[in-house]
Structure 1
Amino acid sequence: MRWGPSGELSTVLWIGGAQWAGKSTVAWLLSRRHGLTAYHYDFHDSRGHADRALAHASRYPYRHAWQVLGAHDPDRAWVRLTPAELAENSRHSFVERFGMVLDDLRGLSSGRPLIAEGWGLRPELVAPLLASPRQAVFLVPTETFRQRQSRELPRAGRVAANVSDPERAQANRLERDRLLADEVVESARQHGLRVIEVDGSLSVGGLTDVVANHFEEWLAVSR
């Protein structure tokens, strides 16, 4: 695995974007098709990263504070905060968590190319690590598709925490996600990176084909 001038991994393929756009499935399918090692942000974030943040409050203050708040006062975390405040907390947390992602990626030693996916892989964080803009793509659902996913996907349809007002908590969460999705589009534009709008018209396989075409020159090297 090659290291770039900045000392960071320079051959990682990145799939970022917004919630419920198919990032995990697309990365998994590409890993199976092309012999890549897939790194799933949510899997590591809800396991090792959560423990790391709890153990090192001074290093990860935003992630640590959010976990403690969610555990002890979920209403404050999801009901009483505004969507804008939730989005602001997420922005700070993304920066801390991205450092953990890089630690994880440096430690992988499969010898195969890596593909990393997750909503915390924001354009402004990924851009400095790229040897080419074709190494990153961002999947963002249309508002109609986001609403459909919130109705049809069990994990998307509610806030997991035990709150007093589930409907308001879910509304806050969806609006937070919309704000963060809009920021992904703008940040990707500023950094010259591609956004794929997901509206549900393509099958998962069809969406994977579109992403594979974007990564074509890098996937060819992995064969």
Structure 2
Amino acid sequence: MRWGPSGELSTVLWIGGAQWSGKSTVAWLLSRRFGLTAYHYDFHDARGHYDRALAQAARYPHRHAWQTLQAHDPDTTWVRPSPREMAEHSKRSHAERFGMVLDDLRALSSGRPLVAEGWGLRPELVAPLLADPRQAVFLVPTEGFRQRQLRELPRAAKVSAAVSDPERAQANRLERDRLLADDVVDRAGEHGLRVIEVDGRLSVGGLTTVVADHFSPWLT
């Protein structure tokens, strides 16, 4: 795997975007079809990033503070902030955690191409690492598809934390996710990166084929 002039990985294929848009499944299918190594953002966050942020408060101050508050009072994360405040927090957290992502990707470096997926792989973070704009794509669901995912995915239907007002927490999360999805579209446009709107008309296999076509120069 090549390294860019700044020392960052320069041949990673990136799939970012919004929650519940099929990023993980598409990356997994691509890895099976084309022999790629797949990096799943949420998997690594749950199993490593959380502990790194707790252990290294000076390096990850925003993430560390959020985790400490969340552990003692989940309402400070899900109930009391406005959705816009939650969205701004998510963007700051993603920026901090992107350094962890790069560390993870370096550790996964091998002879196989690598595809990385996750909602924290935001356009403004990924863009400086790209040798070609086609190395990144961002999946964003339509409102109709988002509602379908909420009905069909148990983990999407409610906030898992023990909060005082579950309905408000879920409403806040949904509006936060809409704001972040809109922001992804705007930032991708600023950097000349492609956004694919996911409306459910394509099967997940069909969506994977569209993404594979976008990445085709690196999938031979």
Query: Once the 2 structures are TM-superposed, how far is the Cα of residue 217 of structure 1 from its aligned partner?
Result: 0.6
* TM-score (norm. length: structure 2): 0.98
User: In the alignment, what sits opposite 2:47?
Assistant: 47
Taking the TM superposition and a 5 Å limit, the aligned residue runs for 1:75-154 are 75-154=75-154
For 1:104-157, what per-residue CA distance to the aligned partner results, in whole angstroms no more than 9, with x for missing partners?
Answer: 111113321100000000000000000000100000001111122112211111
Provide the rounded CA distance (Å) in 1 between the counterparts of 2:58 and 2:39: 26
For 1:203, the equivalent position in structure 2 comes to 203
In the alignment of these two chains, the number of paired residues is 220
Compute the displacement of 1:61 (Å).
Answer: 1.1
Match of 2:190 in 1: 190
Q: Note the residue ranges of structure 1 that are not aligned, 5 or more in a row.
A: none
Which position in structure 2 is the counterpart of 1:219? 219
CA distance in 2, matches of 1:161, 1:97: 21
Q: Which amino acid aligns with 2:151?
A: R
The share of aligned pairs that are identical, in percent, is 82
Q: 2:173 and 2:82 mapped to 1: Cα distance?
A: 9
* Mapped partners of 1:66, 1:43: distance in 2: 19
TM-score normalised by structure 1 residue count = 0.97
Alpha-carbon deviation of 1:7?
1.4
Distance 1:189 1:6 in 2: 24
Superposed displacement of residue 4, structure 1: 1.2
Corresponding residue for residue 7 of structure 1? 7
Q: How does 1:176-187 map to 2 (within 5 A)?
A: 176-187=176-187
- The one-letter code of the counterpart of 2:8 is E
Gaps of 5+ in 2: none
CA distance in 2 between counterparts of 1:35 and 1:149 reads 28
Counterpart code for 1:72: H
**Cα distance in structure 2, aligned partners of 1:69 and 1:152:** 31
SS in 2 for 1:159: coil
Map of 1:164 onto structure 2: 164
Residues in 2 aligned to 1:189 and 1:81: alpha-carbon distance in whole angstroms:
28
Tell me the C-alpha RMSD between the 2 structures. 0.8
Shift of 1:183: 0.4
CA distance in 2, matches of 1:208, 1:177: 23
CA distance in 1, matches of 2:77, 2:104: 28
